[in-house]
Chain A
Amino acid sequence: MADRVGICAVAQTRYAPDRSDVSEGELAYEAIKEVLEETGLTLSDIDSAVSCSEDFWDGRTISNMNIQPFVGAHLGHEDKVAGDGLNAVYCGLAQVLSGHQEVVLVVAHMKESQAEHALIENAAFDPVFMRQLGLDFLSAAALQARRYMYKYGITAEQCAGVAVKNRGNAKKNPFAQEPLDLTVEDVLASRMLADPIRRLDSKPVSDGACAMILTREARARKLTSKPVWILGVSNCYEAHYLGDRDLADCRALTEAAGKAYRMAGIRNPLREIDVAEISEEYSYQELLWMEGLGFCDRGEGGRLLDSGKTRLGGKLPVNPSGGVLSGNPNHVAGMARVAEAVLQLRGEAGDRQVEDAKRALAHGVTGICGQHQAVMILGNV
């Protein structure tokens, strides 16, 4: 990359199970207002806005109309990325790097509470061959969890261990929706949703928004004393049909991570990354995604968790924020990971701060069994 792009400010709403007290735009503006105040910018200083939301979830065709007045897009530039919010950050990065835009506001919003997740997610399956099976993301994830556990001998206790770790970390995160003191037994005793995924193995229904401001290096240094640089990014699609994939694998993630690492000059992620925020909508995913990210070998995700290296205070803390399991809406989740990575690199993560964090990884996922994967590497030097 010729120039560097810096993130000058990030903000998140407190994630909550039901924000019917506000409209989507008002929700987004809670986060937007904070990044404007922090940088001293006004909406008229924003050259371009990139939003991330989904018509199906908003129940509104052209869902970016919900947030248009709140991003200053009246007679200005706005584009909507329809996937995980991390891709909107990637889109904003390209706008700045291209030299065509200078100050870019990126915002993602979602109110899962107002929609029926199974109906919407079923509409993501190919309408001719798969939709009639009645799958949603949860039941498809259960197939993936089973396959992964079978192939590598991953245990239900190891998956539950992710839920225990992350919801415990969430107690230190003021934005988290579901901070809980849990034991593995608590998780294994929670209600079964889709075998082997139990209630506490699964993310809760969540509403919230996330915003950030991106700009080129020289401007970033003027807007904040603590800019965070985007060092590498990539994303990747897997095949759609579940039968075309080995669900115990996550090739798209390996591919996306490989490209992001090359851009950032990272050879050994476990050693060179100080903190990772990854999108685990279900507990097994943290183990599987850690393998895809190259933190350990295939099938070793459970053992890496057991080693304690991914705990807060370990060699590579994973999801010190509490992760998606502790409550982030989909389409916002990956961008929330970027926001948390930025807080860590600025030393502003409060009780969940990882000491002396210099390089962080943020990961986002969209679709069925992680069909689309996105990885971003950030640094503070």
Chain B
Amino acid sequence: MPNRVAIVGIGQTRHRSTRRDVTLQEMINEAVRAALADADLRMKDIEAVFSSSMETFEGIYLPDHVGAVEIGTYMKPGFKVGTGGTSGASVVVEGFHMVSAGLYDLAMVVGFEKQDCGETTAAITAATTPIWGKGAVTGAIGEFAKQALSYMETSGAREEHAAQVRLKADRGACLNEYAHLKLGLKSAEEVLKSDYLVWPLRFLDFCPQSSGACALIFASQQRARKVRSKPVWIADVEVVHQEPFWAGTFGDPTGRETYSQHVACERLYKRNGITHPRREIDLAELYEPSNWEEMNLYEHFHFCEKNEGWKMVEEGVTEIEGDLPVNPSGGVIATNPIGATPTIRVAEAALQIRGDAGGHQVPKEVNTALASALGGPNWTVLTLLKRSV
């Protein structure tokens, strides 16, 4: 019987596009200190620290070594993982395994990325196989443009729906003290007036490059309640990767079908007895680099029927005050420090369960929350959090 694992400390930086005022290490340390303060612990209480980032996005080889002291791994066990966009969730998964295995009672996971010292899109273009994929990939924007177009074509969604998703995200971001882009958008027209990046994807349809970090403290069952009276439990995790290259493109040529998402949520739901995700999940923090992807994700995670994601937007179901709030934090489209982005999804979902999300706390009680991560060529990592287990 595996040990249960709880989240007992949560900390993040205020995310920005550039953090010229701090080094990478100093930036990470802000999140580490915040998580320790949240849990009322000191670094000496933490037995091991695991970290995540994408080295090529900031141009530092072994960044966990550069920041060993500030990450808190100095004279402690740990390692870094890196799996592309999912990195910050992979580290949650591996930290969870470490505590669940009984190897540590208190461990920290830290996701970080300081994109102001690298060039992420250039690095992503080097993600394909050098032999037959070279030139096929131009960064993430092209992939999501393809997906937006096929979503529009097959589901009947219009650009207005995507604009509404962006408005919802911006309302959340403006209430979230840590969010990066707080645009104060007033109307869908503002979104629809923004320039195209790659048709039909507009400037305001896509996530920014952010610099920031997020740290979580995990505790074993026996330690959790000693640290805090109401810990948030990690009920389960699921990792599903997908064959990177089909016909020289990431996944399917439409960019619409992400089999890893279908497979991951089906496995997670089955193991946890979730038969009606729309009713049984109270809140979701999803990894949506684009507003179009968010509608796609509603369908893939079975929050609605196929091709009806945009109807959930029309009905306002996923608004902060809605039945199933999605990304009340503002999501990835507002804040995207890549190695930390999925860690932030888990952090935000946990804060909502605790009732500590601040300005963007949802009015309903959150007992079960889902955090997702998307990375590489359509890889999926899911984390299911619960108030009680």
Tell me the A residues contacting B by CB distance below 8 Å: 1-2, 23, 48, 54-56, 59-62, 64-66, 68-69, 73-83, 87, 90-91, 93-101, 120-121, 123-128, 234-240, 244, 251-252, 255-256, 259, 366-368, 371-372
Contacts and interface: CB of A to CB of B under 8 A. Distances in A.
Contacts, number: 192
21 contacts: A23-B129, A61-B57, A61-B123, A62-B84, A65-B129, A65-B244, A69-B243, A75-B259, A77-B240, A79-B94, A80-B83, A82-B81, A94-B100, A94-B101, A97-B103, A98-B2, A128-B23, A235-B77, A237-B78, A251-B75, A372-B68
A123 B59 contact: yes
A87 B124 CA distance: 26
B28 to A, nearest CB: 12
Nearest to A123: B61
B228 interface: no
Interface string B40-79: 0000000000000011110111101111110001111111
B246 to A, nearest CB: 10
A91 B67 CA distance: 21
Contacts of A125: 66
Nearest to B90: A79
Given A123-B60, A371-B65, A236 B79 contact: no
A218 B208 CA distance: 49
Given A1-B102, A73-B241, A240-B66, A81 B74 contact: no
Nearest to A244: B69
A127 B23 CA distance: 9
B149 interface: no
Interface in B112-138: 117, 123-124, 126-131
B148 interface: no
A91 B84 contact: no
For B24, B74, B81, B124, which residue has the most chain A Cβ atoms within 10 angstroms? B81
A62 B376 contact: yes
B93 interface: yes
Contacts of B79: 81-83, 87, 90-91, 235, 372
B57 to A, nearest CB: 8
Contact of A255 (B75, B78, B90, B240): B75
B1 A99 contact: yes
B263 interface: yes
A74 B243 CA distance: 5
A82 B131 contact: no
Given A98-B101, A99-B100, A259-B77, A82 B130 contact: no
A62 B129 CA distance: 11
Given A77-B239, A79-B81, A93-B101, A237 B123 contact: no
A127 B60 contact: yes
Nearest to B83: A80
A48 B94 CA distance: 12
A166 B127 CA distance: 38
B97 interface: yes
B98 interface: yes
B360 interface: no
Given A61-B56, A62-B376, A98-B2, 10 more contacts: A1-B101, A56-B55, A60-B128, A62-B83, A74-B242, A75-B242, A97-B101, A98-B100, A239-B68, A371-B65
A116 to B, nearest CB: 12
A302 B220 CA distance: 44
B82 A60 contact: no
Given A61-B84, A94-B98, A124-B62, A236 B75 contact: yes
Contacts of B103: 1, 94, 97
Contacts of B131: 23
A99 B377 contact: no
B75 A78 contact: no
B241 A62 contact: no
A56 B65 contact: no
Given A77-B239, A87-B79, A126 B66 contact: yes
A82 B100 contact: no
B127 A237 contact: no
B176 interface: no
B80 interface: yes
B88 to A, nearest CB: 12
B76 A97 contact: no
Contacts of A80: 81-83, 90
A167 B100 CA distance: 42
Interface in B234-265: 237, 239-244, 259-260, 263
Contact of B243 (A48, A68, A93, A255): A68
Contacts of A239: 68-69, 74
Contact of B65 (A74, A81, A256, A372): A372
Contacts of B126: 59-61
A90 B60 CA distance: 24
Given A75-B241, A78-B241, A55 B68 contact: no
A214 to B, nearest CB: 12
A76 B241 contact: yes
B242 to A, nearest CB: 6
A75 B263 contact: yes
B100 A124 contact: no
Contacts of A54: 55, 61
A82 B54 CA distance: 10
Contacts of A236: 75-77
Given A79-B83, A123-B61, A65 B239 contact: no
A79 B239 contact: yes
Contacts of A101: 97
A287 to B, nearest CB: 23
Contacts of B124: 61
A96 B103 CA distance: 12
Contacts of A100: 2, 97, 100, 237
Contact of A69 (B62, B69, B244, B263): B244
Nearest to B244: A65
A68 B244 contact: yes
Contacts of B377: 65
Interface in B353-370: none
A366 B79 CA distance: 10
A74 B23 contact: no
A64 B102 CA distance: 28
